Amino acid sequence: MKKYSIETIVGIFVVIGLVCVAYMTIKLGKVSLLGDNYYSLYANFSSVSGLRVGNPIEIDGIEVGRVENLIFDQEKQTAVAVLKIRKDIKVYDDAGASIKTAGLIGDKFINIEPGGGGQILKPGGRISETNAPIDIEELISKYAFGDIKKDDKKDAK
């Protein structure tokens, strides 16, 4: 009889452990079981250098979504970022999106300037005003090799 009670207690702990692992997987993986609380928007960029699937999307410094996918539009010859935005966040058709860097060498994220003067973008809508990321390496190489124009002190006198 004692053998069965020990096995039962071990079984209960194993089930509790599996439930905890499943809960943490769902919470940390941001998996939704009962419907999706997000909608998709699209943004064309001339370059998505450094941007990765899963990078955050922010409006006024608040995370409102994640980059769902990065694809190449053959017709327009541009990179397209598929943005997964929370359903409670409204983005207008005059909004702008730009790729920014968190810190000097941090991860990239998409910053959305929300707009507000136009119509609300529906799921599957497109953000038309976009800015590609600044290429720090290119700027440094231009400065190092003298491609950046400097003010001549002779002309100023």
- What pLDDT, on a 0 to 100 scale, did the predictor assign at position 68? 92
- What pLDDT, on a 0 to 100 scale, did the predictor assign at position 156? 45
- What pLDDT, on a 0 to 100 scale, did the predictor assign at position 152? 45
- What pLDDT, on a 0 to 100 scale, did the predictor assign at position 141? 76
d(CA 58, CA 38): 14
User: Residues 6 or more apart from 42 whose CB is under 8 A from it?
Assistant: 80, 81, 82, 83, 124, 125, 126, 127
Cβ pair 41, 91 in contact under 8 A: yes
Element (H, E) at 21: helix 2-29
Per-residue pLDDT of the chain (157 residues; tens, 9 = 90+): 566 788 899 999 999 999 999 888 877 766 655 457 899 999 999 888 888 999 999 999 899 999 999 999 889 899 999 999 999 998 888 899 999 888 777 788 999 998 777 788 899 999 888 887 776 777 777 777 776 555 544 444 4
- What pLDDT, on a 0 to 100 scale, did the predictor assign at position 79? 92
Domain segments of the chain: what residues? 1-31, 38-143
